[in-house]
């Protein structure tokens, strides 16, 4: 497996060969590989923005025959319609704005009754989600929850290289090293940096270089200071 999904204008590659594994996500990958031998009717994968949770959900879906739906889908369709004749479903960004809790409880019970599994992704573990229905809260809190943590240099560097590759943009190793020494340590920052470098390189009709990286970093930091 390899890693990462980002909400950018291009289409990220979501295959198993594109999922990068490091210390930050190795435990979550192991849990997915352990399916269907989970100790509960589901699993929660939580972690920061753009950490590859959605990508991992798609990999599990390919493995289990599940579909991947957003939390908002529960408001627009009956759980039976979402699940169809399957026994597995991935609910992405499940800790978003409060949705139809009764529909989620019904979905949970439906999947559990079929002997199947739910995979839920979110930024926080289910025990910290804003759930008003006690029955739903107790079920979610009992699920095993595995974190996707902050990346180390090796994983973050590989992610940056993959993001450039997704855009079919060559990047020198010295640029990646320069970024790693100066950027915030997150997948989300990597995504914003690569998008900004892509735009700057296209606008200036120039390759991605350390000089361009220095200018883009300075611009992004100035923008962030202005917003704060």
Ramachandran sector of residue 56 (left: φ over 0; alpha: ψ -120 to 50; beta: rest): alpha
Residue-wise pLDDT for 57-111, tens only, equals 999 999 999 999 998 888 878 899 999 999 999 999 999 876 789 999 999 999 9
All domains in the chain, ordered by first residue: 16-147 (3.40.50.300), 153-227 (1.10.8.60)
Cα-based distances in Å from 213 to 11, 154, 179, 192: 23, 19, 7, 12
Are the C-beta atoms of 145 and 44 separated by less than 8 Å?
yes
- Which pLDDT score is estimated for 195? 95
- Which pLDDT score is estimated for 149? 86
- Which pLDDT score is estimated for 2? 40
pLDDT grade for 18, boundaries at 50, 70 and 90: low
Query: Of the ranges 17-26, 40-49, 115-124, which one carries the lowest mean pLDDT score?
Result: 17-26
Give the global pTM. Answer: 0.76
Are the C-beta atoms of 9 and 196 separated by less than 8 Å?
no
* Residue 59: CB atoms within 10 Å: 23
Give strand ranges (E) for the chain: 42-46, 67-70, 88-92, 117-122, 145-147
Cα 160 from Cα 66, distance rounded (Å): 29
- Which pLDDT score is estimated for 30? 95
The three-state secondary structure class of 100 is coil
Place of tokens 């959605």: 54
Residue 10 has pLDDT above 50, yes or no: no
Cα 151 from Cα 149, distance rounded (Å): 6
């Amino acid at each position: 497996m390899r890693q990462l999904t980002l909400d950018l204008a291009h289409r990220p590659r979501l295959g198993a060969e594109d999922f990068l594994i490091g210390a930050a996500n190795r435990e979550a990958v192991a849990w997915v590989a352990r399916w269907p031998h989970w100790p509960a009717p589901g699993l929660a994968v939580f972690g920061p923005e753009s950490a590859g949770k959605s990508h991992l959900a798609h990999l599990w879906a390919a493995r289990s025959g599940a579909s991947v739906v957003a939390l908002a889908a529960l408001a627009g369709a009956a759980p039976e319609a979402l699940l169809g004749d399957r026994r597995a479903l991935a609910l992405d960004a499940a800790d978003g704005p409060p949705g139809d809790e009764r529909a989620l409880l019904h979905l949970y019970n439906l999947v559990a009754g079929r002997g199947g599994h739910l995979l839920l992704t979110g930024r926080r573990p289910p025990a910290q989600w804003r759930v008003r229905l006690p029955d739903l809260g107790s079920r979610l809190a009992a699920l095993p929850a595995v974190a996707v943590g902050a990346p180390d240099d090796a994983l973050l560097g590989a992610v940056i290289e993959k993001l450039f590759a997704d855009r079919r943009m060559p990047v020198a190793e010295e640029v990646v090293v320069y970024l790693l020494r100066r950027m915030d340590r997150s997948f989300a920052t990597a995504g914003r940096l690569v998008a900004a470098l892509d735009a700057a390189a296209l606008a200036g009709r120039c390759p991605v270089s350390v000089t361009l990286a220095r200018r883009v970093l300075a611009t992004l930091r100035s923008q962030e200071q202005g917003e704060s």
